[in-house]
Amino acid sequence: MLYCISKDYAGIENLSLIPGKVGASPMQNIGAYGVEVKEVITSVECIKISDGEKVVFDNSACQFDYRSSIFKTTHKGKYFITAVSFKLSKEANFKITYGAIQKQLKENKITENQLSIKAISDAVIQIRQSKLPDPNEIGNAGSFFKNPVVSEKKYRELAAKYEDMPAYKQENGAYKLAAGWLIEKAGWKGYTQDNYGVHKKQALVLVNYGGAEGKEIYELSEKILRSINAEFGIQLEREVNVV
């Protein structure tokens, strides 16, 4: 990532500081701040676990979707990803309208004329560090839940009740809502039980402070799912790959 930034290779600067390995990026089509990795992946090389056959999937064959791909759905557990090919650009198409990027750029005193790939990457890193726990210090799997997409009718219904609810209109007329906002609004932000809970700065992140079992984290996520459904009439989905 930082190597690409240093060479002015554009396309993944909004994904800066997402934890994990390159091979995991296509599995759930990682994304952040209006960018998804599917936009720059050309192919994914795999080994078929059942017989060791080498298979290469092009972009369309991966069937990328919001935080999803065939490696998380129909082909789950069938392939081991060994390489990912990316196509980046020397001509940047800056995407700074999603989330707090513009605000952070302003705080960094970056003007429109000074905008660059590195400036955006630095802003994204600052935002993530300010509200997300370092996995080297606090056990976590990053964002645990997907941002739900609802119909315009459902959005209007909720917006009339919650004027401060963030929402992003999609090309098909639907609206993407912020799962973190919903979870925080339902009172879960900062929730702690024994040695695990919901991060105090970002309600999307479930944390293990040390010694908690996966079953406990899963059960907590179940409670949150039921809570959001009861309060907002929205069925959240887990973003993490549960096995």
What are the residue numbers of the active site?
Answer: 67, 143, 239
Q: What are phi and psi of 79, to 5 degrees?
A: -130, 150
Q: CB–CB of 220/144 below 8 Å?
A: no
Of the candidates 19, 72, 37, the one whose C-alpha atom is nearest the C-alpha of residue 238 is 72
d(CA 239, CA 16): 18
Q: How far is CA 145 from CA 4, 36, 241, in A?
A: 29, 16, 10
How many residues are present in the chain? 243
Strand partners, 230: none
Query: How is residue 214 written in tokens?
Result: 């996966």
